[in-house]
Amino acid sequence: MAMDKIQYLILIVENNTGVLARITSLFCQRGFNILSLNVAETENPKISRITVVSQGDDSKFEQIVKQTSKLVEVCMVFPLEPSFSLVRELLLVKIACEDRDLPRVEELASFYGAKMIDQSVGCVVLELTEAPETLDRFVAELAPFQILELCRTGVTGLERGKVTYSL
């Protein structure tokens, strides 16, 4: 039986209306749930980079790679191997925080490298950019303070070294 695992996929696409809808539709048709999706223009405004995080077995993932590479607007598709890449995600989290709790919150923020970007009456907002697993641990440690709001950007990543794509 094939084992489901977290899979990272990079798509370099033409920056056209509807390309994201066609790609996500393809994932849906193949039964792949998208856990994280990040899309933005590259250094070339005509090209966008899409990072998709999904979970599934290797054979299904290979099919997704093959099918997405056949889409007209897709210039390049490749799996992102986290052990050879820099994989990051941005977290903003608002927690309830009274003055007496502030030293502990500051200690946790310092330990994880988070920034306190807002302090209002009864709450603080923290920002952390790190690997998704680190964000998960940070959020778990903040849970006792009552998380009021939380948002994450979705994963993005680059290969280490001088590996680049060229079109």
In three-state form (DSSP H/G/I as H, E/B as E, the rest C), the secondary structure along the chain is CCCCEEEEEEEEEECCCCHHHHHHHHHHHCCCCEEEEEEEECCCCCEEEEEEEEEECHHHHHHHHHHHHCCCCEEEEEECCHHHEEEEEEEEEEEECCHHHHHHHHHHHHHHCCEEEEEECCEEEEEEEECHHHHHHHHHHHHHHCEEEEEECCCEEEECCCCCCCC
Position 152 in a domain: yes
Q: Which ranges of the chain have pLDDT less than 50?
A: none
Domain of residue 131, residue span: 86-156
Number of domains within the chain: 2
Position 9 in a domain: yes
Domain endpoint, select from 26, 45, 80 = 80
Same domain, 74 and 93: no
Same domain, 30 and 68: yes
Question: What is the overall mean pLDDT for the chain?
Answer: 92
Position 163 in a domain: no
CATH number at residue 126: 3.30.70.1150
- Quick one: pLDDT at residue 5? 84
Same domain, 104 and 73: no
- pTM of the complete model: 0.85
Same domain, 10 and 76: yes
Position 49 in a domain: yes
- Quick one: pLDDT at residue 132? 94
